[in-house]
A = this chain, B = another copy of it.
């Protein structure tokens, strides 16, 4: 693909550009270790790299900047060679975070997104594991006093799903009473407890019309709301996006995307499905408003093979080794932590 020297030069350019955000010239590259050549030679090589699409010049007689393809080569060559390490302070931070972590899953995931953001100084995203595989530990129908009731399901992974529904009304126009609600509740519990969310099945008729009606709407509520497709999204450190770009318009655009949870979830899931861990630029992740951004993902494997997702979003010129290391270690420890419950 690229001979050793070209690769070394390209790596040097990427590294320096990531650090300085300035176009890098042949002299700097020639001086950098790992490259054994005069600036003139480097110039020649760089012009070839440019012709091959790894570098661009912002304008004639300026240094070179990596293209998305350039970054891609960089991270690929990185991937093989063993990623970077977190510095000791960060390692300690991660460790103390996960030993102190406790309480609600949601809360912990939210905190995790902030941790990851702090580690990388970029925006982090954490997506809770979907609960398709989880089994139902308890279901309950609770009347709320008015015409409305709530179906509450507790899942084996500790999450709680709830749906509101309208109580069926009797012929005289009044909603059904506590007795009917209780009957439906126990019957629902009897038939659904232990099943997985994915396969709820049917609850056989009781013979009592009102109870059946309530059961039906409960089931509808439970299965209906499910289409959210995967768990909640936690975005941490969105404000750090403002460090990444100096055009306020760009910041706006990126933040706009981050507000659309659906888009974010789809993006990360899609990348995982494609087996990518890092997507560089719009060509790879497919979101034109995120041109100039890279996305980094990792699955979080807990028990039961259910997987959550974590990722970070930053400018294409981000510190990939550091970010990859952070994502890797956090995904690993978070997975372990979830497994423990």
* Chain B residues within an 8 Å CB radius of A258: 239
A207 on interface, CB distance cutoff 8 Å: no
Name the B residues within 8 Å of A142 (CB-CB): 137-138, 154
With the chains together, A249 CA to B242 CA distance in Å? 7
Q: A174-185 vs B: 1/0 string, CB under 8 Å?
A: 000000000000
Q: How far is the CA of A160 from the CA of B152 in the complex (A)?
A: 8
A144 within 8 Å of B (CB atoms): yes
Cβ of A239: which chain B residues have Cβ within 8 Å of it?
252-253, 255-256, 258-259
Whether A245 is near chain B, meaning CB under 8 Å from some CB there, is: yes
A26 CB, min distance to chain B CBs, angstroms: 32
Within 8 A of B (CB), among A204-246: 225, 236-243, 245-246
Judge if A173 is at the interface, Cβ distance under 8 Å: no
Q: Enumerate chain B residues within 8 angstroms of A147, measured Cβ to Cβ.
A: 341
Chain B residues lying within 8 Å of A152, measured Cβ to Cβ, are 138, 152, 154, 160
Is there a chain B Cβ closer than 8 Å to A8's Cβ?
no
Q: Does A104 contact B (CB under 8 A)?
A: yes
Q: How far is the CB of A248 from chain B (nearest CB, A)?
A: 5
Decide yes or no whether A34 CB sits under 8 A from chain B: no
Cα distance A160–B164 in the bound complex, in angstroms:
11
> Closest CB of chain B to A201's CB: distance in Å?
21
Are the CB atoms of A150 and B158 closer together than 8 Å? yes
CB neighbours (8 Å) of A238 from chain B are: 238, 255, 259
Q: Are B150 and A143 in contact (CB under 8 A)?
A: no
The quantity of this chain's copies bound in the complex is 2
With an 8 A cutoff between CB atoms, is A58 at the interface? no
Partner of A248, one of B144, B154, B237, B251: B251
Give the dominant DSSP class at A's interface.
Answer: mixed
A162-B256 contact given A138-B140, A248-B242, CB 8 Å threshold: no
Check A156 against B162 for contact (C-beta < 8 Å). Answer: no
Measured CA separation A157–B142 after assembly (Å): 12
Which residues in B have their C-beta under 8 angstroms from that of A241?
A: 255
1/0 contact string of A97-136 vs chain B (CB within 8 Å): 0000001110000000000000000000000000000000
> Are B154 and A158 neighbours in the complex by a CB distance under 8 Å?
no
Q: Does A88 belong to the interface (CB within 8 Å)? A: no
Q: Are B242 and A245 in contact (CB under 8 A)?
A: no
Whether A337 sits at the interface, judged by CB under 8 Å, is no
- Interchain nearest-CB distance for A157 vs B (Å): 8
Contact assessment for B158 and A164 in the assembled complex, using a CB-CB cutoff below 8 Å: yes
B341 near A162: Cβ-Cβ < 8 Å: no
Cβ of A249 to closest chain B Cβ, rounded Å:
8
Known pairs A146-B340, A238-B259, A242-B251. 13 more at Cβ < 8 A? A103-B164, A103-B225, A144-B157, A148-B158, A150-B154, A150-B158, A150-B160, A152-B160, A239-B258, A239-B259, A242-B242, A242-B249, A248-B248
Subset of 11 A-B contacts with CB under 8 Å: A104-B163, A137-B145, A146-B340, A152-B152, A152-B160, A158-B164, A237-B259, A238-B238, A239-B252, A239-B255, A245-B248
For the complex of A and B, the 5 pairs showing the least CB-CB separation, nearest first, are A239-B255, A242-B252, A239-B256, A142-B154, A146-B341
